[in-house]
Amino acid sequence: MSIKLVLATQSPYKRQLLARLAHGFATDPSGIDESALEGEKPREQAQRLAESKAREVAPRHPGAWVIGADQLAEFEGRAVGKQPSAEQARATLLAFSKRRLDFHTAACVLTPEGKALTHVDLTVARFRELSHERVERYLELDRPYDCTAAFRAEGAGPLLLNALEATDPTAIIGLPLLWLASVLPLHWQ
């Protein structure tokens, strides 16, 4: 049996999420350049990257439905990516104290005919006043160095928040399942 559903990622978080909806899918990470284009806003960048990932992987899987996804956080108008070290994560999280951080989670489903179905979900994280001790405890518990903005809502992230506002609680983890369930053929669900 040939694989007819492909997730264009190596992210274990996205794989775990898609497994809630679909069985029998393959993963095939894209190798696209994820740099921002000049003047590109984080929401636009996330949407462009999600579609670019799907389009880059699709030729390797003719006849398949291909899902691309990307997530960027936006803080005071600029994109915030992964923070691969404790020092970077600490400084980034402390900057969010008593502030708002927007997460733009984009997904693109390419049909076998090449039609792109796209969606961007917004999740707003409202941070409490953060002390060095609270941030250190969070980093010790979660070690979120592979997560956008060093934040993992499904882990110890609530230690840092006053509120998390979302229409789709799975989007903050990296893949908007409510939207995907509305566009994927039912035989995968």
Report pLDDT digits (tens) over 37-87: 999 999 999 999 999 999 999 999 999 999 999 999 999 999 999 999 999
Name, in order, each residue with C-beta under 8 angstroms of 54's C-beta and a sequence gap of 6 or more: 8, 30, 66, 67, 68, 108, 109, 110, 116
CA-to-CA distance for 5 and 22, rounded, in angstroms?
9
Q: Tens of pLDDT along 102-134? A: 999 999 999 999 999 999 999 999 999 999 999
pLDDT score at 186 = 67
> Average of pLDDT values for 128-146?
96
What values do phi and psi take at 65, rounded to 5?
-85, 130
Element (H, E) at 12: helix 12-21
Q: What residues act catalytically?
A: 70
Residue appearing with tokens 């691969």:
84
Q: Tokens standing for 185? A: 């053929």
Give the model's pLDDT for residue 10: 87
